[in-house]
Amino acid sequence: MKQYDAIIIGSGQGGGPLAQNLAEQGWKVALIEKEYLGGTCINYGCTPTKTMIASARIAHYARRAPDFGVHTGEVAVNLGEVVARKNKIVTEWRGSQEQRVQQQINLDLYYGVGRFTAPHTVEVNGQSLKSEHIFINTGARPRIPDIPGISQIDYLTNRNIMDLQEVPAHLIIIGGGYIGLEFGQMFLRFGSRVSIIHHGSHLLSREDEDVATALQEALLGEGMKIHLNAEPVRIARSGDEVQVTISSTGSKEEIVTGTHLLIATGRVPNSDNLGLENAGVETDERDFIKVNERLETTAPGVWAIGDVKGGPAFTHISYDDFLIVYDALIHSRQRTIHDRLVPYAVYTDPELGRVGLTEKEARKAGYRLKIGKIPMNWVARALERDETAGLMKVVIDADTERILGAAILGPEGGELVQILMTVMMADAPWTLLRKAVYIHPTLAEGFFALFDSVKEEGEV
């Protein structure tokens, strides 16, 4: 049995940095990885998807070029070349991770499946490793719904759809959440017909309806077909076609026919093959690992970080989990998961940047609100770029004048919303930005109109 100061199962955006930094502090570290270094983000998530979205956006711009007085030839997408570019970038990022691990003398890398055999013992490839500090960063995988017929077809997930070499003629997507919409618009711009099947009354069910509706209008304008309040009840293949029978509220069953099917119905944690019961680590009803506010599990000396513990499933949250754990171990700083704001973006076009509470969440929590909202066509820079789909929205606590949350649906929405996040982190009133000097013309200049639109509930 080999003894380590720390064992880390999974090399995602929490586990990888934790392994490196603990090793640099002189800890003897074992890093266990089932497949590729870098986890979902580098290999199947952020890096490859945003690389391919960039290609799709270029195709979209090229088709729109005549609107700007620029005339080109026919636009053709070679998906094989798009995928090759994606693979090159992924391989480079993964290679840099491998190089750093190999250069770290205090870090041993094990390729294989790590499994608890006792409270402080993990087995990998038949070898037993022991440590008083064990960290689980095994992430999550696509959730496959139990729909009759689904096992009889070759469906796609976020992992294998990015390896297609030909553009699907008609891509059907089950799920109108973040992943479904990003891939849907991407392939729409590559040249596919795209149909979204979503169970909710509006896309992005967690978001405010006005924000989701504005995005839906933009996607419909590009030619996407969207089925709301729709549940898939059967899936079948007929020749080269996939047939999804859906049941919609107040309507008869309908068959949506396409050539390819993408399942984008959420994620499940990779917690089922870890032998957690041997370590005393408990999971919740959805199999996410239970943690306290400092990411400690129910087993002493075992932590869970990243998607496997549930909560916001974003790379930057996994990385912040690493910072919380590392600062507690090395610097005795007791920051918790309750001390952070969670910004995120949906990389559609228009792009959705979000932070804090939605309006519906704030109302449910009982706040007395002030709301500010403007359409993006009020922003001079958006007009100049002819990117006016979307809106800006801010939710304010009327009693304290503090920003509770914000949504920016428009060009660079993910960048813009972080300006508002900074004010929230500083615990400053929203009025700090009301008379700020903004560069003209910029997208941030839209905050002038946004804050001028702020009204208390009932105010005209």
Mapped onto helix, strand or coil, the DSSP state of residue 289 is strand
Task: Please tell me the distance from the alpha carbon of residue 447 to that of residue 374, in angstroms, as a whole number.
Answer: 9
- Kindly state the helix (H) or strand (E) to which residue 351 belongs, with its residue range: strand 351-356
Among 267, 333, 305, 281, residue whose Cα is nearest residue 15: 305
The answer to whether 30 and 131 have CB atoms below 8 angstroms apart is: yes
Structure-block tokens of residue 207: 């978001």
The answer to whether 172 and 260 have CB atoms below 8 angstroms apart is: yes
Mapped onto helix, strand or coil, the DSSP state of residue 321 is helix
Residues 88, 269, 179, CA angle at the centre, nearest 5°?
50
Structure-block tokens of residue 13: 């955006």
Task: Please tell me the distance from the alpha carbon of residue 29 to that of residue 31, in angstroms, as a whole number.
Answer: 6
Among the listed residues 71, 331, 338, 440, the single catalytic one is 440
Pairing type for strands 391-397 and 369-375 reads antiparallel
The answer to whether 139 and 10 have CB atoms below 8 angstroms apart is: yes
Task: Please tell me the distance from the alpha carbon of residue 229 to that of residue 239, in angstroms, as a whole number.
Answer: 28
Nearby residues of 249 by Cβ (< 8 Å), 6 or more positions away: 229
Burial of 155 (0-12, 13-18, 19+ CB in 10 A): buried
440 noted as active-site residue:
yes
Residue keyed to tokens 């479904």: 180
Task: Please tell me the distance from the alpha carbon of residue 337 to that of residue 332, in angstroms, as a whole number.
Answer: 15
Among 75, 67, 70, 74, residue whose Cα is nearest residue 388: 67
Residues with a catalytic annotation lie at 440
